[in-house]
A and B are shown apart, each in its own frame.
Chain A
Amino acid sequence: MSQVQARFFTENKKYLIDDVPFSIPAASEVADLSGVINKLLEAKNDGHKHVEFDFLVRGQFLRTSLASHMEKENISTEEVVEIEYVEKFTAPQPEECIMHDDWISSVEADSEWILTGSYDKTARIWSMEGKAVMTVAGHTDVVKDVAWVKRSENLQTGSLVVNDASLLLTASLDQTIMLWEWNSERNKVEARHCCRGHAGSVDTVAVDPTRTKVCVLPTVEEDEIEEPNRPRKKQKTEQMGLTRTPLMTFSGHNEAVSSVLWMDAEELCSASWDHTIRLWDAETGEQKSTLTGSKVFNSISYSPLCRRLASGSTDRHVRLWDPRSKDGSLVLLSLTSHNGWVTAVRWSPSHEHQLVSGSLDNVVKLWDTRSCKAPLYDLAAHEDKILCVDWTENGLILSGGADNKLYTYRYSTCVSDAGA
């Protein structure tokens, strides 16, 4: 088998070529195929510039030679192979390295500001250029998680109208969640509420898509007489007053809850050390379904684009789940390349196939689900454990860890590919 009949196609109009089968050497690799396409495009229009392409054979990225890939995937060599080609993703470009005083426990960024929580008991707000804008101090213990609640230009708080005011949440080891109001114009931060109710440290918070509710998770179970060793999840609505109590408690996990998120306005999802991912009805507080794994879950992420859950666990794998499956415990795919616990996963907000994961082995990996054996790129900048990653809508990847550094990467997803 030296030659393979292949037909190339793409969804990018810019790089369309004739829909005819070609006979190409079976031993050719990505670079060879890319050269072939470029030659064809040059023949078609003179003004073509050289573009690196990546190739998909039946939804799987080509990483080895065509022959071995087809053998592995059990693709018949008798028929004409359909090969899709896309513009190659360029490597994320490192942008900033923001130094902190202590370990970075969490990061959340939007298009303008970066919010980080640190082990020095503060949360910080940074500009995209890495300039420290604000330090939010108020917790008596380590800040474990941060979240933007509202980035509104005009916020009605009580009677006075404040411009450029944002709301942010910090969750801490001191069992409290603080809601802060930050005025970016005046650069003033002010604690609005302190939420109590947890019997242990608060490890994770999540804000629902309508930005009105907060879901908060403790890692340590409250010792209740009726239900010992049950963790609680708390949900709050924004109410006036300095101290808030939970709206609702979700009980069911046997151990510490490590991650929580809103899937939509009515449904939320939590991952725990008791090897389960549970889905809850936010209205009634009932448990809807359970996904059971075999290892402790450290982090989960949900992509509304592909409606998949990604989980990072202590056994080095990133697993993809279908949350709609009723029987649970159905792993769609596992991405294996890390050497340590996967502490953070985050789906791309703009691309349905891509996600980023951070691990204790000091490496952030950028994955494409179409290539599950090897990641697209390894971002090995950190010198110590990675504790958090984030991916903003404008294509910025952030990672923070135990080396006190927050790295940002500019990842330019191909515009042409965004709609795919």
Chain B
Amino acid sequence: MAGKSVAELQLRDVKLGQLPKWLASCNFSPGSIFKAMQRGRNRYHAKYVNVVKPGVAPVGQFIAVFILVSYIWRYKGEKSHRLSKYHW
């Protein structure tokens, strides 16, 4: 019965035409944003961290995200170290 109205669908099930309607039905107050972040964190933890035998996933993912975000922050300064100015 979930998803009888657009507001109750999850984002992965929302079709492209329904997207504005779905966004309009969202609650963007700080409290609900915080709760949404908490839900995301809990989902991640339930899947990878709060298990009997966690694997390398939290460590590897943290390192990957660290590398990615630090490179994005450095990109502006690294652009001047390019080997060639024009690329195909």
Real complex partners, A and B?
A: no
Query: Which B residues lie at the A interface, using CB under 8 A?
Result: none
Query: Which A residues lie at the B interface, using CB under 8 A?
Result: none
